Structures are given as C-alpha cells and as structure tokens.
Structure 1
Amino acid sequence: MRRIIELISTRILTGIVTLWVVSLIIFFGVAALPGDIATEILGQSASPDTIQAFRDQLGLDLPLYQRYFTWLANLAQGDLGTSLANHRPITELVSSRLENTLSLAGLAAVMSVPLALALGVLTALFRNSRFDRGVNILTLSSISFPEFFVAYILILFLSVKTGWFPSLARVEDTSLLEALRGMFLPALTLTLVVVAHMMRMTRAALLGVMGSPFIEMAKLKGVGRLSIMTRHALPNALAPIINVVVLNLAYLIVGVVVVEVVFVYPGLGQLMVDSVAKRDIPVVQACSLIFAATYIILNLIADVLATVTNPRLLHQ
C-alpha cells in the first residue's frame, strides 16, 4: 500500500510539473504569434492613441514574464480571465461548453468501449478466421481516414440521404431524446476513430496471455475456449487494456475539436476555434490549458490503474 501511495504521489508531482511546462508553452507560444492583438480587435481604422490605450488596458505594455506570472497567479485562484470579444468571464463561457464536450465524450465512450472490448475478445477467440480478418480490415480502414472525412461520410449517408439524424448537432434548449439524437453522429465519428486502437490492443493483450502455462493447464482440464478467454486470460490482460482505454478516453475529450467544428457542436473545441478567429487570446489560452490538464490527469489515471492491476510494475 505504501508503494502505491508513493507511486501516486510521484505521478501527481510529475503531472503538476508537466502542466506547468505546458502552461509556459501555451502562454509564450500564443504571445509569439505575429500581429498585434489590439489592432486586430479595434481594426485598422483605430487611431494610435486608441490602440495604445487599449494595450495599456489589457496590460500588453508590461514585460512578457510579468504578464505570465500574473496569468499564472490568477489561474491558481481559479480566475481564467475575461474574454476580449464579449467582456464576459471566461469561466462562464467555458463551463457550459465543457459540459457539452464531456457529454459528447461520455456518449462516445459508452458506444466505443464495450464495442472495442467485445470485438477484441471475439477476434482473439477466433484468431485468423474470416471474422478476425474482416474486423481488422474494417477497423483499420476507419482509423486510417481523417476525422472530418468520416464525419462527412456519415452526414452524407445518415443525414442527407436517409434523414435519420440531423447534420448539425443542436443540443441546447431541447429534450434529452432530441439532444441524444443530435449528438449521435459526432459520437459515432469519434467511436469509429478510437475503437480500432482499443480493439487491437485488447486482442494483442489477450493473445499474449494465451501462451502462458496456466492457460495451457486450463485447456488440459477441458475448460471451454470462451471461459478460458473471459475468466482466465482477460483478468490477466487488464493492465494494458485499461491503459489504452483511459488514453483513448483522454483523446475523446481533447480530440473533439475537428468533430465539433464539422457538426457545429457547441463544445469547448468549437469555442476555441471561434476564439482563434476572433483573436480572443485569453479564451484560447484557457481552452488549451483545460485540454492539456484533462489529458495529463487521464494519463495519470491510466498509469496508476495499469500499475495497480499489474503489481509486478511496482517493483520495476
């Protein structure tokens, strides 16, 4: 137990340091972008005095390192800043959009994780069969296409030609059933993108365990193939499976930007893209940091769960 606590403490400290490094990259990377923010917001017709006054109001006249430490201190207090586009607190803008993004990622996870695990078990059970080869071809094909291409194909066949689902994901001010219907195509796009990776890792982990001596002993005792796979092989292959599932859950949250833009889904990714177009730098920084923090936290969870489910890793 003490070793696990030390491991978790070390991983948390590493995550905090990583997040700090990411905050440096985000802040100074955005600051290094060409163009003047004040001129972009006020327009070319603004007088130099007006532009200078606006720069002073935003604190752009301060040294870059001082602006960074001020931004970091505000973040530590939970203050993400104020939007330059509509002068609203960024926390208010982000809260509802983050909830929508998490809802979409949750629906995609509910669809993709059971499907990937079931396909992984079945392809390992019927290794080298036509079913195994067919599933591998389909999943590799889906993961090979860019997300926007998969999204447009789904829109063409499931929205334009059949009219089963809306092409634009309208989820606000609607009933739960209508919201789920609007979220289905974006969630299906994400599912097709991530299910191949989880399925192939599940299959590889199970096949790696199937060569173990205790599996041979179970076969000699006359245990059925399905029972061997689910009761003996699967519990001993959980560490890599849990790791890849959690990492793909992280992707479902941070990798939704393209999908949200295609379906005009009111999530955090759409907010970030809109803010980039408006040169609303504080919102872009806040969204980027939230995505980075989410990915780091889920990576930490994946690492800890993989170690807990495989105690041998504690002694490495």
Structure 2
Amino acid sequence: MNFWAYLAKRFLHAIPVYIGISIVIFSLIHLIPGDPAQAVLGDAATPEAIQALREQWNLNEPLWEQFLIWFFNVLQGDFGRSLHTNQPVSEIIASRLPVTLTLTVSALVFSLLIALPVGIISAIKRNTLTDHVSRVIALLGISIPNFWLGLVFIIVFGVYLRWLPPGGFHFNKGFVPGVMSLILPAVSLGAFFAAISMRMVRSSMLEVMRKEYIETARAKGLAERWVIRSHAIKNAFIPVITVIGLQTGTLLAGAVLTETIFFMPGIGRELITAMAKRDFPIIQGLILFFATVYVGINILVDLSYAFLNPKIEYS
C-alpha cells in the first residue's frame, strides 16, 4: 500500500471516530441541568421571551434533530454563535488560537530540549549518578501537577523575585516582553511532558542498545559515538514519537488550566469562561476543536513511522 492509499484509509477510519466524538460532546453538554435561554436572559425574563429564544436556537426540537442541525453546520464550518455575545464560535477560535498554539508549541519545544538529551545521556550512563539524578527529576516532574507548579512559579518568580511577568500574554508590547511572559506558563505546562518523554527516551534507548545490530556495529570497530548517533538514536525515536503525539493532546488539555492560571487569552481560558456562563455553542465548538486536533496529530504520528524507519511499510 502506497502513502496516499494509506492516508486515505486513515482519514476514512477517522470519520466514524469524529462522528462518535461529536455525539458524545453534544450529549454531555445537553446533560448539564438548566435552560440555556433562561441562563442568558436572566431570572427577570418573561416566559414569552424565553420561549422565543428557545425557538430561535432550536431548543424545542428533539435532541437528535438538534444534533443533526448542529453537526451539519459544523461540517460547513459553522460552529454556531455565542449565546451571550452572538459572535461566531469560529471567529472566537481563530482569535484565541494563536495564543494557545504559541503556548503549546513553546511547552513542546521546552520539554523536548530537556527530555531528548537528558534521556539519551541517562541511558548511555546507566546506573551512574547522572542516571539516578535524571530519574529522580523525571519522577518529580510526573508527580507535580502543572497547575500547582504554575502557582508556585507565579509566587516565586512573578511576585517575590519579580524576574518574570506573573501573567498575561504581552506580545502586543514587543517580542521580548512577549517571550518573557511565555516562559513561566510554557515551563509549567511542559514539565510533565518533559518528564514523561525523558523516561520514554531512556527506556527506548536502553532497549535499542541491547539489539544485535548495535553489537554488530560495535564489533566492526565503529566508534561508540557513531553507533549511538547513527544507529541507536534513530531507531529509539520510533516509540518516542508515539508518546510525543499522544502527549501533545495532553498539552492541549493542560493549556486550559495553564491559560486560566496565567490569565492568557487563549482557547483554554475561553473554554473555562464559557463553562461559567453556560455558553453551550462555545463549549461544544472548543471541545470539538481539541478533539479534531488530537485525531489529526495521531494520523501524523502514524505517517511519521515510515520516515523514521524506511523498513516500515504502510499497510
């Protein structure tokens, strides 16, 4: 099977997954008690006004019909409108996406810059002091919740030492202020991912370095550095790529709390605000957006295997 046939097959497999996710999201949102029309108009609203708004939003239709209307609109790029501001949800996503994307990519880059070299060195220097220290650091990174770490960073570096901004997204003030405002949230969001990736890189490297072809390369007299660089690292990265793809979805989910803690105007903070206001179209649209990104990342991860190892065939 060639690349394009495999890609088409993966997209076809993603269709029922996407439909299933849409059904779950829509059902869970509508299980939340309360009337959206009542929540928007307030307690002083008349029954006639509430009924008119329910008619406008198709809330009087059966649930399955509401879902079909919403889903077919989504397929056309229409995620609905905010119940409070009447702003299209697609515009809200477009305006908030750069902040979330910048934060997520920064956290990913930070975590990989830490995890890859430390994991490789830890595997090479197995059972040495360097290995033990890196494993303890990884265990701490996994154990500490990112929102708690973010609060500690704000108190220590933002309030007490005043080295970095305690919150906000200051790229409108210039590149340097923007980068400074990004350090604390990116590190707090990426710490857990760095720890997971570090352990995965170490385990994968140790497994690969016990393979016969590594021993054969050493027996041929190749330098240890060349064996590690040309043979071990590339093959060890195949399972690591899987973890990176799966954990990228975790980064997006973690961005919800991180953006809220650091007052960043991203998709995550908008989701929390929409939940507080019971703005169902925004909640549905943002969660579906996160799910779509997650499915897309998994497809990209599958496609990357053959690039890392040409022996792997698309099937």
The CA RMSD measured in Å over matched residues stands at 1.7
What is the match of residue 288 of structure 2?
289
What is the match of residue 240 of structure 2?
241
What is the match of residue 124 of structure 1?
123
CA distance in 2, matches of 1:143, 1:214: 33
The one-letter amino acid of 2:303's match is V
Question: Retained in 1: the 8 A contact 2:3–2:314?
Answer: no
CA apart distance, 1:26: 0.6
Matches within 5 A, 1:46-61: 46-61=45-60
Q: TM-score, normalised by structure 1?
A: 0.94
Identity of aligned residues (%): 33
Question: Retained in 2: the 8 A contact 1:254–1:294?
Answer: no
What is the match of residue 6 of structure 2?
7
Question: Retained in 2: the 8 A contact 1:240–1:306?
Answer: no
Question: Retained in 1: the 8 A contact 2:205–2:232?
Answer: yes
CA apart distance, 1:307: 4.6
The one-letter amino acid of 1:129's match is T
**Which stretch shows the higher mean deviation, 90-99 or 212-221?**
212-221
**Which stretch shows the higher mean deviation, 213-222 or 287-296?**
213-222
CA distance in 2, matches of 1:224, 1:160: 50
The one-letter amino acid of 1:213's match is E
Matches within 5 A, 1:28-177: 28-171=27-170, 173-177=172-176
Q: 1:172 to 1:41 in 2, by over 3 A?
A: farther
Which aligned runs of 4 or more in structure 1 are off by greater than 6 angstroms? none
Question: Retained in 1: the 8 A contact 2:256–2:268?
Answer: yes
What is the match of residue 195 of structure 2?
196
What is the match of residue 23 of structure 2?
24
The one-letter amino acid of 2:160's match is K
CA distance in 2, matches of 1:225, 1:153: 42
Report the number of matched residues: 315
**Which stretch shows the higher mean deviation, 15-24 or 250-259?**
250-259
User: What's the CA shift string for 1:66-106, capped at 9, x where partnerless?
Assistant: 11111111111111111111111112211121111001111
Q: TM-score, normalised by structure 2?
A: 0.94
Give 5+ residue unaligned stretches, structure 2: none
Question: Retained in 2: the 8 A contact 1:251–1:295?
Answer: no
CA distance in 1, matches of 2:218, 2:192: 36
User: What's the CA shift string for 1:260-311, capped at 9, x where partnerless?
Assistant: 1111111100001000111110000000000000111101111221254345
Q: 1:43 to 1:143 in 2, by over 3 A?
A: same
**Which stretch shows the higher mean deviation, 249-258 or 121-130?**
249-258
Question: Retained in 2: the 8 A contact 1:272–1:284?
Answer: yes
CA distance in 1, matches of 2:9, 2:155: 48
CA distance in 1, matches of 2:42, 2:111: 46
Question: Retained in 2: the 8 A contact 1:250–1:299?
Answer: no
Give 5+ residue unaligned stretches, structure 1: none
Question: Retained in 2: the 8 A contact 1:242–1:302?
Answer: yes
